[in-house]
Amino acid sequence: MPDEALLKGRYRLLAQQGSGGMAVVYKAKDLLLERLVAIKVLRPSLTNDPEFLKRFQQEARNVANLSHPNIVTVHDVGQDGNTHFIVMEFVDGQDLKRLIRAEAPFSIDRALSIAIKICAGVGYAHRAGLVHADVKPQNVLVTANYKTVKVTDFGIAQALTATTHPRERQKVVWGSPHYFSPEQAQGEPPTPSSDVYAIGIVLFEMLTGRLPFVGADQQALAMAHIKEQPPNASDFNPNVPEHLDRILQKVLSKEPTSRYRTADQLGRILLSYRRQGYVTTDQVPEVVPGDSAPYTSPLQAPNHVPAAVPPAVPVPQSIAPPTVPDPRAEAVTSTYAQPPYAAPQAAMPSVASQPYAQQPPYPPPPVMQSRYRAAEPSPQMDVVTLLLAFIAFIAIVLLIPLWIAVYQAWVG
């Protein structure tokens, strides 16, 4: 902790919450606004570089403009002597890495729920033109009962990649090599696709309790990211469905162009998969805030192993049941309704924070009379038919004398 427990005469440092290669995090109190905050103090090794500090302050201002339920809000960025710090909202929870160490492998539904929320936050930043560049479980904060998931540390790694001192950059970048994309391992600048790769590794770790790539040292780990084919998650967790394995294989592709372009695209894929396979991908459904009770399916039995969904068989219209909306489906939010890279206009709701749709069943379609049905006799039509027949008969009778007269005149 810095020598002074009070920064800028406003923020009182209370206790250290964690530390990393780039900063130390403290729980603090904002004496002016009387609220708890989290303060990330940069390590002195970074503050000696004026170019980095300039870039860092610009990135911090950009992140401060992001307002999203799945991104930790930045309140302030400042300096007190040689101490440079960021003031953020205080999240009463713990980082995802600790939860993985304690509880992994997660259930399929829990892992998907967390990954979708990570995609929502990172995807929002992508549409604002920002790349996180250091997505990892240590930078994901989770509250009790997994109700809130927030991504933090936007801007620091991105500012670091733009510094003019490659030696110092390499020293810090190697602080979390397990989640770096192959292009980052080769020293190339990160892109939104690099964040997608990192999210894929986080999802793999939640599902299996281990990382897809390991190495004796940093160099070996970098070569594994660049050359080795990632294993299937189902090799370590047989409950992982085949389709989810395929999604992970695409996300962990070596070529950035073979992955999903942005976190938004990955989020839409995971959300769609979760809806379609909900009854076979988890033992206990997640309770979403706003729901009075979770949906329980008779198919969700203990130790249920997901099975491949058979292809749909067409049902004749005459016996098809009326369509009823699935109460398990989540409401589609504006987070995944906007195209990639659209500039964010306002705070958007979390993808998985909306309650499940609770609409009443649609009424069955009205019974339609077939137009090919045989016509039934009508009494009114019978009277008209008889009347027309009688008139025709009278006309014929009256024309008979006329025909006889014409015939006699023609013969005579």
CA 340 to chain centre: 13
Helix (H, G, I), strand (E, B) or coil at 198: helix
Beta bridge partners of 27: 15, 38
CB-based contacts of 133: which residues, under 8 Å, 6+ apart?
Answer: 157, 158, 161, 184, 190, 194, 195
Which is the catalytic residue, given 134, 153, 195, 282? 134
Of 145, 153, 144, give the one whose Cα is nearest residue 198. Answer: 153
Of 6, 55, 48, 54, give the one whose Cα is nearest residue 31. Answer: 6
CB-based contacts of 28: which residues, under 8 Å, 6+ apart?
Answer: 7, 11, 12, 13, 14, 36, 37, 38, 39, 87
What is the Cα–Cα distance from 221 to 211, expressed in whole angstroms? 11
DSSP codes, 27-70? EEEETTTTEEEEEEEEPHHHHT-HHHHHHHHHHHHHHHT---TT
Q: Is 382 a catalytic residue?
A: no
What is the Cα–Cα distance from 360 to 380, expressed in whole angstroms? 45
Catalytically annotated residues: 134
